[in-house]
Amino acid sequence: MKIPIGKPDVGKDEIKAVMETMKSGWVSQGEKVERFEESFAQYCGVKYGVAVSTGTAALHTALTALNIGEGDEVITTPLSCVASTNPIVYLKAKPVFVDVDPATLNIDASLIEEKITPETKAILPVHLFGHPVDFDPILEIAEEHDLPIVEDASQAHGAKYKGKKVGQFGQVSCFSFYADKMITTVEGGMALTNDAKLAEKMRLLRSFGMSKQKKFYHPLLGYNYKMSDIHAAIGVIQLPKLDKYIQKRRKNINYLKEQVESPRLKLPNEQEYAFDVYYVCHILAQKRSDRDKLVKHLEKNGIETRPLLSFIPEQPPYAKLGCDLTELTRAREAHQKGFYVSNSPLLSEEHIRYLAHALNEF
């Protein structure tokens, strides 16, 4: 049996939507994009959606709209896809890394305040692997220090914090619709906000900074981050499936947690404040050597694995920042001991039983 790391659920309805859009004569940003923006924002409980070409573009656009620039500091997590931090550096700002909570692998809110300086201009938490960040303490810190929050919810569509969907907590929240995400537009992203002026500024930024009222007049230095109607047409079809996907992902993980009893392995752990959408099944071993042996065991049995994303401060572009790694021991240890396997909603019950058996066999 083969269990690939991820496979999008793209079928006849998505293909039909793309074909209809292609035949319509309008394939670039247009009515389909507006429809997807409105429906996804409504799903998340936020007023305005700004669709862009990728999740990275969403973060870059959001930070730019908040006037983050050279010399500014943005507090964020060291354990994530590097895409959550790259836009900070694009703007010549400085990422300030805060260690993670070992229970969730999300940023540890209790360590944020000590990192705030006069140069701190934003907090960028990541809802890693679909588990929401513990937001109340972050909101308190942000309010006390008058700092905007940019949520990176790229892996957390539909996740909830104390019953409220993620995406509603920051001044801006950013999502990805890459091929393996909770829903896909193949490539794409979106920034959400309740601030009408901020939404309008992000719309300008994604389209060369060009005024809507005056063609080829550019009051802002913008980017070319538009989403096409072809991509949005897929998103329009995918969105109504999201809750079903989440139910299947939760069922998969709950089964694995019931069946896998090895004290040497730690599976995802949903906190009492959280509704976790389990983007993937991440696993922590007791020791790095156990991790390496288990990965080989799973790969030998046709189960594809991936490292626990990136410990960003050790990536070559970030090593020159000179981060104190002794302050980031939990994130570094998790990266060394962890990995993940697929939790695709396309996995059958037989797949999940096979995965449980392989883990118990180890």
Strand residues in 113-228 grouped as ranges (E): 120-124, 150-152, 160-161, 164-165, 172-176, 189-193
CB neighbours (10 Å) of residue 178?
A: 20
Write down how long the chain is.
Answer: 362
Catalytic residues: 181
Q: Look up residue 294 and give its two tokens.
A: 């288990």
Q: Look up residue 267 and give its two tokens.
A: 């599976």
Distances (CA, A) of 319 to 209, 297, 307, 311: 33, 32, 19, 11
Cβ distance 175 to 190 under 8 Å? Answer: yes
Cα distance between residue 7 and residue 226, in whole Å: 25
Residue 12: strand, helix, or coil:
helix
**H helices of 165-212, where?**
196-206
The 10 Å CB-count burial string (b at 16+, else e) for 237-262 is bbbebbeebbebbbebbeebeeebeb
Cβ distance 4 to 179 under 8 Å? Answer: no
What HEC string does 319-359 produce?
HCCCCCHHHCHHHHHHHHHEEEECCCCCCCHHHHHHHHHHH
Backbone angles phi, psi at 46, to 5 degrees: -125, 150
What stretch of H or E contains 291?
Answer: helix 288-300
Longest dimension (CA), the chain: 66
